[in-house]
Amino acid sequence: MFKKILIANRGEIACRVIKTARKMGIQTVAVYSEADRGALHVKLADEAVCIGPAASKASYLVADKIIAACKDTGAEAVHPGYGFLSENEEFSRRIEEEGIKFIGPKHYSIARMGDKIESKKLADEAGVNTIPGHNEAISGPDEAVEIAKKIGYPVMIKASAGGGGKGLRVAYNDAEAHEGFASCVNEARNSFGDDRVFIEKFVQEPRHIEIQVLGDSFGNYVYLNERECSIQRRHQKVVEEAPSPFIDPATRKAMGEQAVALARAVQYESAGTVEFVVGADKSFYFLEMNTRLQVEHPVTEYITGLDLVEQMILVAAGEKLAITQDDIKINGWALECRINAEDPFRGFLPSTGRLVKFRAPLESNAVRVDTGVFEGGEISMFYDSMIAKLIVHGASREQAIERMRDALNGFVIRGISSNIPFQAALMQHPRFQSGNFNTGFIAEEYPDGFDASMVPHDDPALLAAVAVFARHRYIERAVRIGGQLEGRGRKVSSDWVVVMNGQQYPLTVSHTRYGMSVTHNDKTYDISSDWSFGDQLFTGTVNGQPICLQIERHGLYYRISHFGLQVAPAVMTPRAAYLLSLMPEKQPPDLSKFLISPMPGLLREVTVAEGQEVKAGEKLVIIEAMKMENILKAEHDGKVKKIVAQPGASLSVDEVIIEFE
């Protein structure tokens, strides 16, 4: 067994590999860019080596620097994690040539599966079902449009070396095919250094289901059941689960056997994933093979009891698989939510900055948090937006969903925005709970984006009652302040009004032996909690039932988050509430004459000029943030008065880019 391994990655996955290596008694070496000098994976590793500037192409993507770090530290093997060089055939080959073990498949397996065009041909030869399409690299946008017409819309435009939703677009007409080709080429070139693009038929109402496989150097192969990855936004996975609520045992067996046949055809050694698109009739077609560890691997670990990182290390060290197909069972149900640094209430735009608060749910046998950040750390614009992975396990799917809802309630993140409210809304959506969904679920259910009104809550008065509970705690502390004039001390009223989302909730408060009783109309909430001032997490019981929500005081307002709903109730006396109702509403300023950056990022391109007439829907600028291209278009017809920000500028949120006449 190896004595020391180097992790050629950063963030959550680097920390994840370190955790298993430590369990196996293996020392670890971290590599880091200058932007990651204080990162968590650097702190956790036994040794750490700086490999260059913040930009990935000057650090994490430079094989020479990683090989040099291996030699300098005496690392015998390299675990590539996912992303960066994890599926780079040349990197794997060079590592092996240097006498260092690559904890992953051999370079020839990566080469055959890493090229999506060639992998599809090979899958055909191995007897694996494949999707109709044009499997040759496309030379330009006009050719892309012609091919798309022949295949028939909708089509999927994909980068041959793509992955993680980058270099992928779905086109429903000629214009989308033309524009989608250009975006795919740019993203593929910037992310993978390979701008080849191909096109295939987009299966309607598809499910994205993948099979985890394991192989060793002795020709032994197993499949570890499936993962359901259909909850996606812009082709990036949001929620994953294992097993799938859609797949039956016969389909599982057929898909598993085809996945193993493909792994055997490329002499695959390590953990890998074969991805399929599955139709409503359970027909399935090969999408691609990911020759690395997947982000969502923990759900498979929960239902099988296997540590996939450990299995990868054992295989790389030359050991045989200790399990057979008959040993693989399905134990309960597991769910994973990707917690990303993005604002769901602003179109999921990237959010960067310092993590002022980072308080993950308590881990247990049923709750797991994989992360690479810590409170006080920085979320950088240079890398992926994922902050953490929240994984839960239950005896049934229903129990797993309930545990995920509770865990999301207790996940405190401040300083940046996160997609936790959206994840919480998904957990409560009837269609998700029924298991009747496909990859179009988010686009279909949230066609105009996501806002607070889309978060269901069956008892908003409960949130008003908690706000009054907190307000009373503050007032009771104020009453106890010494030095008050006799007879002039503050008196605490029992009648209050909570103003929330334009509605007034009249409430009456009384103290009980264990806490406080709050009554609204004919319903009473008996609240018991040891919540203390300044604590963002409010835990306790309401009418004997446990409750966990987040609360923060802002003057008379108490920002409350519960099951994804975010409200800011104001707690006031009945007289103050009446006077407030007489106040005119302040109108927001008119910003229609400006194009404002909705996110922090790099201004890559301005496609219009001063004095130019523009039409609604016309492309104006391209902003790059967290390795993704974002195109901003004109919302209405107009004329450009002034270009305020120039290409190459680093934009902040709400910074003016273009002014219109």
State the alpha helices, DSSP H only, in 358-480: 397-409, 420-428, 430-434, 441-445, 460-479
Q: CA angle, 624 as apex, 660 and 147 as ends, to 5°?
A: 95
The string of DSSP letters for 587-637 reads: PPP--TTEEE-SS-EEEEEE---TT-EE-TT-EEEEEEETTEEEEEE-SS-
On whether the CB atoms of residues 360 and 369 are closer than 8 A, the answer is yes
Measure CA 31 to chain center: 23
With CA atoms as reference, report the closest residue to 395 among 466, 333, 483, 325. Answer: 333
H or E stretch including 190?
Answer: helix 174-192
Q: How big is the chain by its Cα radius of gyration, in Å?
A: 27
Question: Which string of DSSP letters, residue by residue, matches 105-121?
Answer: --HHHHHHHHSHHHHHH
DSSP state letter for 58? G
Pick the closest to residue 276 from 229, 311, 333, 316 (CA basis).
Answer: 229
Alpha-carbon span 595 to 410, nearest angstrom: 37
226, 216 in Cβ contact below 8 A?
A: no
Q: Do the beta carbons of residue 7 and residue 17 sit within 8 Å? A: yes
Output the CA angle 228-233-235, nearest 5 degrees: 75
Is there a contact between 362 and 388 (Cβ–Cβ < 8 Å)?
no
With beta carbons less than 8 A apart as the criterion, state whether 216 and 324 touch: no
* DSSP state letters, 228-278: EEEEEETTEEEEEEES-SS--HHHHHHHHHHHHHHHHHTT--EEEEEEEEE
**Catalytic annotation present for 605:** no
Q: How far apart are CA 418 and CA 413, in angstroms?
A: 7
Please tell me the distance from the alpha carbon of residue 462 to that of residue 615, in angstroms, as a whole number: 48
> Which one of 240, 288, 301, 552 is the catalytic residue?
288
The three-state (H, E, C) secondary structure of 453-487, written as one string:
HHCCCCCHHHHHHHHHHHHHHHHHHHHCCCCCCCC
C-alpha triplet 105, 317, 79: angle, nearest 5°: 55
Integer Cα distance of 113 and 263 in angstroms:
9
Nearest to 52 by CA among 71, 31, 70: 31
272 within 8 A of 105, measured Cβ to Cβ: yes
Instruction: Scan for tokens 């992790």, then name that residue.
Output: 7
Residue 411 DSSP label? -
> Could you give the C-alpha distances from 642 to 202, 462, 615, 632, in angstroms and in order?
41, 50, 16, 16
Cβ proximity of 395 and 535 under 8 Å: no
Q: Nearest-CA neighbor of 99 among 72, 71, 59, 80?
A: 71
The residues annotated with a catalytic role in the active site are: 288
